[in-house]
Structure 1
Amino acid sequence: MTKLPDNMELRERFHLGESDTAVAEEFGVTRQAVQDRWRKMGLYRAPVVQQVRSLLAQAWELENGSQHSYISKCLRLVLRRRLGDVLRVKQLEQAEKWTSMLRAEGLMASYEPGVGWIYVPRTPQDRNWLVRWPTDRPLPGAREQQALTMPAEGEELVPLGS
């Protein structure tokens, strides 16, 4: 007999962005037990994370440590959300605060080899994206391009197609 709540309650917790660890601790089970149950219910987080990693790898060979910068973390959070992942409340707040700052200051993220992630002024050639895409790399697919686009002012950071 499992100590976890019924599927309806677990699904709600998943969509509210509660972590595996938090649910496990609350119900006295392992994190793996929570993950296994969510998988059986068809709820996955990791595929979007992999999709974001792949998208960023299309554009840059990121140097060690660069993925831990504030800019990188915020960009990955926004992309995860736009591509359909569920974020915790604090993660969503951080992503929305970051996009608001970029919009207000007319900035975007840019990756410079040897330097890392930096902010640069947005130009008309930047397609209103969150990040400056390298000119020597092919553009990503249409859905990924849409995910890279800056949300309009006042627009909630919601998954594409919502």
Structure 2
Amino acid sequence: MSVPEVIPIGHEPDHRTSTIGRWRGGQFFASVTAAFPEGWSGDDWQSRKRWYAVLHRFDGAGRHLDSHIRFTGTTAGGEGKAVDAARLLLAEWLDALPERQYQDITIAPFEVRFEGALFGLVVEEDVDEGEGDGEGDGVWAEFHPDGLGFEAPWNGCYDT
């Protein structure tokens, strides 16, 4: 089974997809998340783990319109402080969406790079497809950097 043109994402209150839904201008996916710069490796992970407030907006058909991404601090600078700042900023952004309703969404894959990190819903393919049940093996969509994986049967549920 191939990846659909638009991928359903289920709204789950009090879970990782609690801040997704629709607004007058289309659909949205919002989160507080951490990211490392692409390709980074090393021992000083606390100073490289960067926290962000993220709001992706889509039209009614699920095509990406824009992304608001703001850095709020590192784990080394105080993870709680960075997360709290991101939550406050995200609440402001969400409050500004007219006619906002939290609910399931259906969006197309997209990619945005910000400060050396990948954000978006990206189609991934495992080159070693020899294992599994045969239904959609080796192909999925990953929401970066949130770490949410979507796959067949494409019902809006995710793996972390």
Larger Cα Rg: Structure 1 or Structure 2?
1
As a proportion of its length, which structure holds more strand?
2
**Relative contact order, CA 8 A, sep 6+: which one is greater?**
2
Please state which band the TM-score falls in when normalised by the shorter chain.
Answer: under 0.3
Structure 2 length normalisation: TM-score? 0.24
Structure 1 length normalisation: TM-score? 0.24
As a proportion of its length, which structure holds more helix?
1
